[in-house]
Amino acid sequence: MTTAWLAATAALEPNCSKPAEMSLFTKIIRKEIPSCKVGAGELWYAFLDINPRRAGHTLVVPVEEKQRLAELSAESRAALMEGVADAQRRLGKVFDTQDFTVVLHDGPLAGQEVPHVHVHVMPRKPNDFARNDDIYEKLETCEEEERKARVDADETRKARSEEEMEKEATEIRRAMMETTW
Ligand code: AMP
């Protein structure tokens, strides 16, 4: 483990008897909760969103657990953007596009559900949504009932098995082995 990784995770191990509550995404990074990995760097981790708004919907998170972008160290923030670019290169190869919707809900009032900075990266294709900005409406929807209804209504947002998700993640992970970008 390097100094940078130790610094990024330091806040999770405070010097007191009560252990800090880890975020869902920290548990994913620590492999306490399963995820379909798309890529990773020393200070970031990218994985498929469990409730994809379109195929390839990826979340990129900093190892450093902070709720808001401004709270991250400059090093983590820069690494996060490297992670976003890395995910875009992989997704671009697999989904044959250079265009992405990249979204960050920076705090609960902005629609953040998980209090750990995360960037949504979604590859875009011509006419993938009836209206281009419909993708934002989908991102804001969090009610389970609505989610289920939309899964049925939208071909790009099918409920998927773990096997199906892992197949997609493997393809995206391998994409960089074949590209010269
Ligand atoms: P936000 O509304 O910006 O906070 O987005 C949180 C995202 O995390 C949502 O798109 C969820 O579908 C996604 N999510 C929640 N739990 C998991 C999980 N265990 N694995 C992958 N993605 C998740």
Distance (Å) from CA 47 to ligand 1 centroid:
10
Report how far residue 152's alpha carbon sits from residue 54's, in angstroms, rounded to the nearest whole number. 13
Q: Would residue 118 show up in a list of annotated catalytic residues for this protein?
A: yes
Determine if the pTM surpasses 0.75: yes
Candidate list 57, 116, 118, 120, residue with the active-site label? 118
Any idea what DSSP says for residue 164?
H
Q: Which residue has the higher pLDDT, 43 or 144?
A: 43
pLDDT value at residue 146: 46
| CB 58 less than 6 A from any atom of ligand 1 | no
Instruction: Give Cβ neighbours of residue 68 (< 8 Å, ≥ 6 apart).
Output: 106, 107, 117
Report how far residue 128's alpha carbon sits from residue 173's, in angstroms, rounded to the nearest whole number. 23
pLDDT of residue 181 exceeding 70, the answer is no
> What per-residue string of b and e applies to 144-177 under the rule 16 or more CB within 10 Å gives b?
eeeeeebeeeeebbeebeeeebbebbeebbebee
Q: How confident is the model at residue 63 (pLDDT cuts 50, 70, 90)?
A: very high
Q: Which of 26, 33, 113 to mutate to test the pocket of ligand 1 (most atoms within 8 A of CB)?
A: 113
Report how far residue 6's alpha carbon sits from residue 126's, in angstroms, rounded to the nearest whole number. 43
Q: At 174, list the tokens.
A: 């391998």
Distance (Å) from CA 17 to ligand 1 centroid:
30
pLDDT of residue 178 exceeding 80, the answer is no
